[in-house]
A = this chain, B = another copy of it.
């Protein structure tokens, strides 16, 4: 066989894990009345103040989709548009103080939940797992 055997249990395990983690993210976001999209938006704005075009690229969204997302987050006081001084077409998107507080809170809660998820592993197993994951997601922040 030329193609490597997919190894079903690994694939299934990864997909299951994926849904478990996404569930955590969605649940924690919902507890603060946020969607996953809003959570991702705020997560990116934690340490950046990008323009719409750049932000759309980060989130892999069309700019028109992003307009609405930013509108809705803005009307809830989570982000704001900051007009660019040099280019009067452009604006930069910034998380408000409230948005920043919220994302920090939710991220802490997600961390706690993920910590529970990996609790069945011993600490050395967790270290190994982290190393494996680092090999799989080179772009990890």
Contacts and interface: CB of A to CB of B under 8 A. Distances in A.
A25 B16 contact: no
Nearest to A108: B6
Interface residues of A, number: 43
* Copies in the assembly, this chain: 2
A27 B55 CA distance: 21
A13 B110 CA distance: 13
Interface stretch (A69-77, A81-89, A132-140): A132-140
A95 to B, nearest CB: 19
Residue of A10, A12, A126, A139 contacting most chain B CB atoms (<10 Å): A10
Contact of A111 (B11, B13, B117, B120): B11
A118 B10 contact: yes
26 contacts: A6-B114, A8-B111, A9-B130, A9-B134, A10-B126, A11-B115, A13-B133, A13-B137, A14-B17, A14-B117, A14-B133, A15-B25, A16-B133, A16-B140, A17-B133, A18-B21, A18-B22, A18-B25, A20-B136, A117-B136, A118-B136, A120-B135, A125-B132, A129-B129, A129-B132, A132-B132
Interface of A: 3-4, 6-18, 20-22, 25, 110-112, 114-115, 117-121, 125-126, 128-130, 132-137, 139-141
